[in-house]
């Protein structure tokens, strides 16, 4: 089998592969920058919690309308925003830390969502909700993902400065501007929106993987913020493309294949990454070198 048949032919010969590739590209454009900022803000596990939080809302949409794109999207958005706000309110009104509050909310959400889907659907429907069907993306889903990505990029451009400053020095930002709170809410809303978009392609259990694994990988190669965000996006798209090819040639599920490729890239970065990787830390440093 020549390189053309391995890398190009699947996308030129099959429309469903081209749609899946376009969907992965759109997801990567939005998820890459958001994953980078989640890492910088030490909110990596928040992304995982929010991915599970959308499940009961999507499940309620499924309960009333079946596998309807718009019903499940609206339900997922509502549930994700409700959990984000609810966890924050509980953390501020009680002595519980926000991460513990999020953990409680996401565990309840996951169990509730699985229960609701099981009441009406079959095991196939449950697998669709949990793991997605990236090779089954239709035009309506692709338009939805592209619209979410467009809103994400435009919003990030508008809140970029306060978002960066809040990562570096939130106390200073609070002393000179009130934009910190607004940018934080906008940022969490973007995370929820992208997780809902990713949910339709990769399912709730894998949507956060395309957001966090490329960002974690890029962190081992970039110190500069612009390079970090750009590299995270590129790794997300590359992982998605290779994962689709692996799924096509080996007949494996497409969503898990994409995430496992991203996981392999992360494992290589842990060992070989020039910024804090294992080999770099083991090599002797010159005197006074940081």
Residue 167 CA to residue 152 CA, distance in Å, equals 18
**Does residue 289 sit within a domain?**
no
Residue 155: both structure tokens together: 């919003």
Instruction: Tell me if 233 sits within 8 A of 29, measured CB to CB.
Output: yes
CA dihedral sign of residues 24, 26, 32, 34: negative
Q: Tell me the C-alpha distance between 138 and 269, whole Å.
A: 34
CATH code, domain with 200: 1.10.3470.10
Q: Structure tokens of 192?
A: 């929820």
CA–CA gap between residue 231 and residue 250 (Å, rounded): 28
User: Of 49-58, 81-90, 170-179, 212-221, which range is least confident?
Assistant: 170-179
Whether residue 78 is contained in a domain is answered as yes
CA-based torsion, 226, 227, 232, 233: positive or negative: positive
pLDDT band of 271, cuts 50, 70, 90: very high
> Is 54 domain-assigned?
yes
pLDDT in tens, 92-122: 677 677 677 777 877 888 788 878 877 776 6
**pLDDT 10s digits, 45-80:** 777 778 878 888 888 888 888 778 888 889 888 888
In a domain, 223, yes or no: yes
Question: Is the separation of the CB atoms in 105 and 49 below 8 Å?
Answer: yes
For residue 123, is it within any domain? yes
Q: How far apart are CA 159 and CA 220, in angstroms?
A: 26
What is residue 288's DSSP assignment? T
What is the per-residue pLDDT for 105? 77
Return the closest-CA partner of residue 47 out of 106, 107, 134: 106
Burial code (b: 16+ CB inside 10 Å, e: under 16) for 173-202 equals: beeeeebbeebbebbbbbbbbbbbbbbbbb
Cβ pair 196, 80 in contact under 8 A: yes
Q: Measuring CA to CA, which residue among 53, 44, 59 is closest to residue 105?
A: 53
The DSSP 8-state label assigned to residue 8 in this structure reads: I
pTM beyond 0.85, yes or no? yes
Extract the tokens encoding 171. Answer: 């106390």
Tell me the mean pLDDT in the region 230-243: 95
Q: How many domains does the chain have?
A: 1
pLDDT above 70 (res 201): yes
Whether 213 maps to a domain, the answer reads yes
For 41-55, 83-97, 177-191, which range has the lowest pLDDT when averaged over its residues? 83-97
Q: Which two tokens stand for residue 44?
A: 């990596």
**CA proximity to 202, closest of 166, 147, 243, 173:** 243
User: Would 288 be classed as within a structural domain?
Assistant: no
Mean pLDDT across the chain, nearest whole number?
A: 85
**pLDDT over 90 for what percent of the chain?**
37
Please give the torsion angle defined by the CA atoms of residues 81, 83, 89 and 90, in that order, rounded to the nearest 10 degrees. 180
What CA–CA distances, in Å, run from 83 to 75, 106, 155, 183?
12, 8, 22, 18
Residue 30: domain span: 3-282
Q: Residue 26: which of 132, 115, 134, 98 has the closest Cα?
A: 134
CA 40, CA 17: separation in Å to the nearest integer?
34
Distance, in Å, from the CA atom of 167 to the CA atom of 8, rounded to the nearest integer, reads 41
């Amino acid at each position: 089998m020549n390189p053309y048949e391995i890398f190009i032919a699947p996308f030129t010969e099959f429309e469903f592969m081209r749609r899946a590739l376009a969907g992965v590209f759109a997801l990567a454009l939005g998820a890459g920058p958001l994953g980078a900022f989640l890492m910088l803000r030490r909110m990596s596990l928040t992304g995982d919690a929010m991915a599970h939080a959308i499940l009961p809302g999507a499940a309620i949409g499924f309960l009333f309308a079946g596998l309807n794109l718009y019903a499940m999207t609206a339900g997922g958005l509502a549930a994700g925003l409700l959990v984000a706000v609810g966890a924050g309110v509980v953390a501020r009104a009680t002595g519980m830390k926000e991460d513990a509050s999020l953990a409680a909310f996401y565990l309840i959400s996951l169990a509730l969502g699985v229960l609701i889907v099981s009441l009406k659907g079959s095991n196939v429907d449950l697998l669709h909700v949990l793991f997605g069907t990236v090779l089954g993306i239709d035009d309506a889903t692709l338009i939805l993902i592209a619209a979410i990505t467009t809103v994400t990029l435009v919003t990030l451009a508008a809140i970029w400065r306060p978002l960066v400053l809040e990562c570096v020095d939130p106390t200073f930002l609070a002393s000179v501007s009130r934009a910190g709170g607004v940018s934080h809410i906008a940022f969490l809303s973007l995370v929820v929106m992208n997780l809902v978009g990713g949910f339709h392609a990769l399912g709730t259990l894998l949507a956060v993987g395309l957001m966090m694994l490329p960002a974690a990988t890029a962190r081992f190669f970039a110190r500069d913020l612009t390079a970090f965000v750009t590299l995270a996006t590129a790794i997300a798209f590359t992982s998605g493309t290779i994962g689709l090819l692996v799924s096509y040639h080996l007949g494996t599920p497409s969503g898990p294949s994409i995430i496992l490729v991203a996981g392999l890239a992360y494992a290589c970065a842990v060992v070989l990454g020039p910024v804090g990787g294992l080999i770099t830390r083991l090599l002797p440093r010159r005197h006074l070198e940081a």
